A and B are shown apart, each in its own frame.
Chain A
Amino acid sequence: MNDLGTSVKDPLATRLTLDGPLVLQSGISLSPVTIAYQTYGTLNADKSNTILVCHALTGDQYAAGKHPLTGKDGWWRHLIGPGNVIDTSRYFVISTNVLGGCLGSTGPKETNPETGRPYGLNFPVITIRDMVQAQARLLNQLGIDKVFCVTGGSMGALQTLEWAQRFPDRITAAVPIAGSYRHSAQNIAFDEVGRQAIMADPDWAQGNYLEEGTVPKRGLSVARMAAHITYLSEPALQRKFGRRLQDRDNLTYGFDADFQVESYLRHQGSTFVDRFDANSYLYITRAMDYFDLAEENGGKLANAFKDTPVRFCLISFSSDWLFPTTESRAIVHALNANAAKVSFVEIESDKGHDAFLLDEPEFHETLRGFLDGAARSVDLQDVTAEGAQ
C-alpha cells in the first residue's frame, strides 16, 4: 500500500484529520480532530494483517524506529521489527498518538480553532473510549476495516480492552498487557499526586503556560518522578541503586541528591519535561481514572464481553504492583464466564510494571506464540506474495 507506505519515509509528520467532528463520551462534539500516527511494515492485499499498537500514558506513536525528539529507539523496539515478535515483514503495525496527547494528535496544546489560541484547560475532558473511537475513525479513513490484533501495555491495555468491548467483530485478537479493567483507588491516588504537583507549579499558570511563555517544569518533573517509582519494583530499585551515593564518598548533610536513586529520579523528571506537555498529562491521567469497564456494564465485567468472538491473551508481571496480576485475573474470570477464547500468563519478573517495555524473553515468546496461533486460526495472508503491488 503505497499511500500508507509513505509514512515510513516521512516519520516526522504523519497526521490525518478525521472527517467530521468526534462526539466525545461527555457529549461534547470536538472538531477538527487530527490523529498523528506511525506505521511499520506493509498492509497485505486483503487488508487483514493490521496490528494496532496502543501506547501507555507517556508513550507516543513512535513504537519503533528513531524518536524525532529524543533520538532514542521506539518504546517497543524489543518487539517490533522484521522477523521480530511483532514481525513487520508479516504484519502491518500502526501506532497512533492518543487523542489528548502531545505529539501531533489533537490535544490541549494544539490550537483551538474557535479562539486561535492553545486549548489549554478549554480542551474537553476525554476518556479511553474517546481515544479508541478516534483510532477507529482513523482506521476507517485509511480503509482498514478489520484489525488482526490490538495490543498495548498499561494504558495501552485499557485501550485494547475498550476495543474488544466496543468493536468485537472488527478485531480478531486482543492482547492487553500489564493492565486492568478499571483504575483502582491506588491508581487514581497516584495520578492525583501527579496532577496536584503540576497544578501547584506557578509556571503552570492555571493551564495557560503556553500563552504565558512559561513551562511548569518543576511540577511535571515531580509528577514524573512519583509516577516513575510506581513503574518499578522495590527489589529492582534496591538492586539498581541500593543506598549508593551519587558522585561522592560521604553524605553532604544537605538536600542535594546524595543518593543515586535521587539523582536517577531527578534525571527522569527533567528529561521528561522536554518531551511531554503538562496539560496532556492532566487529561490523559484523567481519562485513565475514569476507565471502568465493570461499572459501565452494570457492575458486571462479564457483560462487557458477551459472546465475544475475540481471542484474548492476557499477560501480567509478577512484580507489577501498579497493575497487579489480580487485575488481569479478574478479566480472565469475566472472559471465562463467556467461555471466551483466552490465554493468560503471569510472567515471572522482578522489574515491576515497566517489564512490558523491557527485554523479557518469556513475555516475548508468549506473545509470539499467541500471535502465530491467532494468525493460523484466520489463515492470515502473507504480505510477500500480494503486498508488492
Chain B
Amino acid sequence: MTEATTTVPTQMQSGIRVDLQLVADQIKPNSRVLDVGCGDGMLLAYLRDQKKVDGRGLELSMARVSGAVREGLAVIQGDLDSDLKHYPEGAFDYAILSQTLQSTRNPKEVLEDLLRLGTYAVVSFPNFGHWRVRLELLLRGQMPSTPTLPESWYDTENIHLCTIKDFLTLVDNMGVTIEAGFALDGHGKKVSYAATGWLANLFSEQALFVLRR
C-alpha cells in the first residue's frame, strides 16, 4: 500500500497527526484527560504543551509506553479490556479512544467504561461501511483490504469492525448522547457531509464522535 493509512500518519505543520489534531480540538484547556491506547503519547504531549491538560495514558505496547514515559508523560502499560475498570467514576473530563474500539474484546463494555470514568468520551474508528469495503467483498468475494484497513483477515487486530451506522445504533441502544460527530477521510481529515447520515456511512473512511451519558 502506498497510500497513507491510519497507521501511517500524516503530519501537519504543528507536528501532530491530522486525526489527532481533530481529537485535540475537542478538548477544553486545563481539563483532565485519559487517552486510552495513547501510543507514544503524541496527543498527550500536545495537549499538555498547548492546552495545559492534566493527562494520563494507557497503552498496550511496552515500547510505546517507554517512549511516552521518557517524554515525562503519565502513561502506564496495560490492557484496556481489563484495566479501565480500575479508574473511578468521573475521574476525567475526557476519555479518548482513538482508532482502537474495533480491536477491543468487548467494545460495548469499553464504551460504558469510557462514559463512566469520563464526562465525555471521544471515540474514533474506521468505517467498515465505506464503499470500497463493500465493493471488495461484493466483487472479489474476499475479506476487504483497503488503504484504511490493509491487514489480511488472519493477522488483523481488528476483531470488532463496524460501520458508522452500526456504531450509531449501539450508542442509541445505550442511551448515549452524541455531542458532536465528524466524518473523516483516510487521513483523518474532516469531510463535508454529516457524520450521522448515509453519505458518511458510504463515503467516509473514518468517523469521530464525542459522546456523553
Q: Is the CB of B66 within 8 A of A366?
A: yes
Asked if A238 CB lies within 8 Å of chain B CBs, one says no
Residues of B with C-beta under 8 A to A150: none
A345 touches which one: B62, B86, B92 (CB < 8 A)? B62
Is A311 in contact with chain B by the CB < 8 A criterion?
Answer: yes
| A residues less than 8 Å from B29 (CB atoms) | none
A365 vs B70: C-alpha distance in the bound complex, in angstroms? 6
Which of B56, B71, B78, B87 lies in contact with A373, CB distance below 8 A? B71
* CB-CB nearest in chain A for B34: A339
In the assembled complex, B159 has its CB within 8 A of some CB on chain A: no
1/0 per residue, CB under 8 A from B, across A272-305: the answer is 0000000000000000000000000000000000
Judged by a CB distance under 8 angstroms, whether B183 is at the interface is no
**Beta-carbon contacts of B64-81 to A below 8 Å, as 1s and 0s?**
011011111111111000
Chain B hits for A337, CB < 8 A: 86-88
Chain B positions within 8 Å of A345 at CB level: 62, 65-66, 69, 77
**How many angstroms from the CA of A369 to the CA of B88 in the assembled complex?**
27
Contact with A along B42-74 (1 / 0, CB 8 A): 000000000000101000001001101111111
On whether the beta carbons of B56 and A339 are closer than 8 Å, the reply is: yes
Are B72 and A374 touching (Cβ within 8 A)? yes
Interface residues of A in 324-366 (CB under 8 A from B): 329, 332-333, 336-339, 341-348, 362, 365-366
Given contact pairs A339-B88, A342-B56, A345-B66, a sample of 5 additional A-B residue pairs in the complex whose CB atoms are under 8 Å apart: A336-B87, A342-B76, A343-B74, A344-B75, A374-B72
A368, B88: Cβ atoms closer than 8 Å: no
Instruction: Please determine whether A346 and B62 come into contact, CB atoms closer than 8 angstroms.
Output: yes
B83 touches A333 (CB 8 A): yes
- The answer on a CB contact under 8 Å between B74 and A341 is yes
Please indicate the chain A residues that have their CB under 8 angstroms from the CB of B78 in the complex: 329, 332, 344
What secondary structure prevails in chain B residues at the interface with A?
A: mixed
A362–B73 CA distance with the chains assembled, in angstroms:
16
Q: Is the CB of A313 within 8 A of B62?
A: no
Q: Which residue of A314, A336, A339, A369 is within 8 Å of B72 (Cβ)?
A: A369
Complex contact A369–B62 (CB within 8 A): no
CA of A348 to CA of B88 in the docked complex: distance in angstroms?
Answer: 30
Which chain A residue shows the least CB distance to B65?
Answer: A345
- How far apart sit A347 and B65, CA to CA, in the bound complex (Å)? 10
Q: Please, how many residues of chain A have a CB less than 8 angstroms from a CB on the other chain?
A: 29
Number of B interface residues in the complex (CB < 8 A): 23
Residues of B within 8 A of A386 (CB): none
Q: Would you give 9 A-B contacts (Cβ < 8 Å), ordered by A?
A: A333-B83, A337-B87, A337-B88, A338-B88, A341-B54, A343-B75, A344-B65, A346-B62, A373-B73
Closest to A362 in B: B66
B interface with A by C-beta (< 8 Å): 32, 54, 56, 62, 65-66, 68-78, 83, 86-88, 91-92
A311 touches B74 (CB 8 A): yes
Is A145 interfacial (CB-CB < 8 Å)?
Answer: no
Complex CA distance for A338 and B76, rounded to whole angstroms: 14
- The 9 residue pairs across chains A and B that have the minimum distance between CB atoms: A373-B72, A369-B70, A339-B91, A344-B76, A336-B86, A343-B69, A333-B86, A341-B74, A366-B69
- Determine if A372 is an interface residue (Cβ-Cβ < 8 Å): yes
The B-contacting residues of A in range 5-39, CB under 8 angstroms, are none
The answer to whether A332 touches B76 (Cβ under 8 A) is yes
Contact present for A368 and B77 (CB under 8 Å): no
When distances are taken between beta carbons in the complex, the residues of chain A under 8 Å from B71 are: 369, 373
In the bound assembly, the distance between CA atoms of A366 and B41 in angstroms comes to 14
Count chain A CB atoms within 10 A of each CB in B73, B86, B91 and give the residue with the most.
B86
Q: How far is the CB of A376 from chain B (nearest CB, A)?
A: 6
Nearest A residue to B32, CB-CB: A339
Nearest residue (CB) in A for B76 is: A344
Residues of B within 8 A of A362 (CB): 66
Instruction: State the CA gap A370–B71 with chains docked (Å).
Output: 7
Instruction: Return A49 CB to nearest CB of chain B, in Å.
Output: 17
B88 partner residues in chain A, CB cutoff 8 A? 337-339
